[in-house]
A and B are shown apart, each in its own frame.
Chain A
């Protein structure tokens, strides 16, 4: 059995998940990042991405829309703005959000606005990616 570590995924409004995990994969500031047990203490910002959690019982995925990853000892915390399971995602809403963000990016925008639209697009894409993956494996 692989060594596990205590993982908790917390959002400002609730604790989304607490489990023992063997490995997690998430997109950090500099690209994808895998964390195994006994990882060196680390703090990094994470980008909107699909958080993959491998546990003894299999694999779970959560859509996280940005936040931070903190590794200390054998406790790993994902501080996420939001964290959703595939069944919690409102697909139509995500599609609409994606379209809205794309439209806004077509217009010429101030830097701040453009940054916001890009982030919104990223968030929506991550949600859609997760529901689409989920439905494919379900079939």
Chain B
């Protein structure tokens, strides 16, 4: 602990400016979280309609000929790992990567599609095979970014480079809670449930299914990117909130100490003066 009064004042000033920064970052995070949630909301109608359409067409077409829907013996798994590009987001990135590690602990061949710098750096450091990386998704993920990830994994799956594709990302629960989860993306499971109605398809059900499946996959990926971004901002907001609170606590303690020391110094001085005055009598 710093002892002199001046040291303590300096320390208080420094903690105060840290607090200002974390407080500002918390507010920025809250605003971006709101934006991310709005984008997620805006993406819902499209995702729901494409899911509906796929549900009906999958019931009507023979799905067996669609390579993207067909499971095969799994030799090599491709992981799409969605993390943030930046830190200062509490345990957000670490939690996702821990979940990934559990997932790959069993061994087996794996290749990685790293979305986000944190995940890529982690995987590289450990000597994993990162076949593609997508950095700079930014604060507001766009659909075409999801689509290019989608196109790459579709290509890898169809070429036989991977036999299964899993997505690792943080599901958004609340601003305080994010849930790292793993989902199988390919082979794609068509949405379950009964088709709402009978359609006619142009030119035919198989062709429509063929066209629809990749778009459904992109929509799923897009939703995951938006959700991951909301989780990231939620985690960052929570982290910055507790950092702000910690600095307040620290400042409070330091102010107390400062006052006590100052009072002690004053008491000491008075005692000396009184002592001096008494000596003169």
> In the docked arrangement, what's the CA distance between A81 and B214, Å?
12
Please tell me if B243 contacts chain A, counting CB pairs below 8 Å: no
A34-65 interface code vs B (CB 8 A; 1 in, 0 out): 00000011111100000000000000000000
Minimal Cβ-Cβ distance residue in A for B196: A72
Q: Is the CB of B211 within 8 A of A68?
A: yes
User: Binary interface profile of B, 121-156, with partner A (CB < 8 Å = 1, else 0)?
Assistant: 000000000000000000000110010000000000
Q: Is B89 an interface residue (CB 8 A)?
A: no
Q: When the two chains form the complex, which single residue of A13, A33, A43 contacts B53, counting CB atoms closer than 8 Å?
A: A43
Is B199's CB under 8 angstroms from A42's CB? yes
Q: Collect the chain A residues with CB atoms within 8 Å of residue B196's CB.
A: 72
| B202-A13 in contact (CB<8A) | no
Are B200 and A42 in contact, with the CB atoms below 8 A?
yes
Is the pair B143, A12 in contact by a Cβ cutoff of 8 Å? yes
Q: What residues of chain A lie closer than 8 Å to B207, measured between beta carbons?
A: 29, 45
Decide: B49 and A42 in contact? CB cutoff 8 A.
no
- Is A11 interfacial (CB-CB < 8 Å)? yes
Cβ contact of B201, chosen from A8, A14, A15, A42, cutoff 8 A: A42
Once the chains are docked, how many angstroms separate the CA of A64 from the CA of B200?
A: 22
Contact A44 B201 (CB under 8 A): yes
From A8, A13, A43, A79, residue with most partner B Cβ within 10 Å:
A43
Q: Are B49 and A70 in contact (CB under 8 A)?
A: yes
Instruction: Given A30-B203, A72-B197, A77-B49, verify A13-B42 contact (CB < 8 Å).
Output: yes
Report the interface size class on chain A: 20 to 34
Residues of chain A within 8 A (CB-CB) of B45 are 8, 10, 15
A68 to B199, CA, bound (A): 13
Q: Can you name the residue of chain A whose Cβ is closest to the Cβ of B140? A: A13
B212 at the binding interface (Cβ < 8 Å): yes
CB distance from A93 to the nearest CB of B (A): 14
Chain B CB within 8 A of A86 CB:
no
Query: In the docked arrangement, what's the CA distance between A79 and B198, Å?
Result: 19
A-B contact count (CB 8 A): 79
Bound CA–CA A42/B142 (angstroms):
29
A45 touches B198 (CB 8 A): no
Does B56 reach chain A (CB closer than 8 Å)?
Answer: yes
User: Chain A interface mostly helix, strand, loop or mixed?
Assistant: strand
Chain B contact residue count (CB 8 A cutoff): 31
Residues from chain A with Cβ under 8 Å of B56 in the complex: 43
Query: Given the interface contacts A12-B143, A43-B199, does A68 sit within 8 Å of B42 by beta carbon?
Result: no
Cβ-neighbour of A40 out of B42, B43, B200, B208 (below 8 A): B200
Residue contact B42 to A15, C-beta cutoff 8 Å: yes
Closest-by-CB residue of A relative to B212 is A68
| A49–chain B nearest beta-carbon distance, Å | 15
B96 at the interface (CB under 8 A from A): no
Question: Separation in Å of the B141 CB from the closest CB of chain A?
Answer: 10
A:65-92 near B, CB below 8 Å:
67-68, 70-73, 77, 79, 81
Please name all residues of chain B whose beta carbon is closer than 8 Å to the beta carbon of A13 when the two chains form the complex: 39, 42-43, 46, 142-143
Let me know if B143 and A29 touch, CB within 8 A.
Answer: no
Interface string of B202-242 (1 = CB under 8 A from A): 11000110011001001100100000000000000000000
- Asked if B57 lies at the interface with its beta carbon under 8 angstroms from chain A, I say yes
Q: Which of A12, A15, A30, A41 touches B218 (beta carbons < 8 Å)?
A: A12
Residue of B nearest to A67 (CB): B215
B8 sits at the interface (CB 8 A):
no
Which of B47, B53, B211 is in CB contact (< 8 Å) with A70? Answer: B53
The contact of B198 among A28, A29, A41, by CB within 8 Å, is A41
14 inter-chain pairs at a CB distance below 8 angstroms, sorted by A residue, are A8-B45, A10-B45, A11-B143, A12-B46, A12-B146, A14-B42, A29-B207, A29-B211, A33-B202, A44-B203, A68-B50, A70-B199, A79-B50, A79-B215
Binding site for B on A (CB under 8 A): 8, 10-15, 28-30, 33, 40-45, 67-68, 70-73, 77, 79, 81
List 4 tightest A-B contacts by C-beta distance, closest first: A44-B202, A12-B143, A45-B211, A41-B199
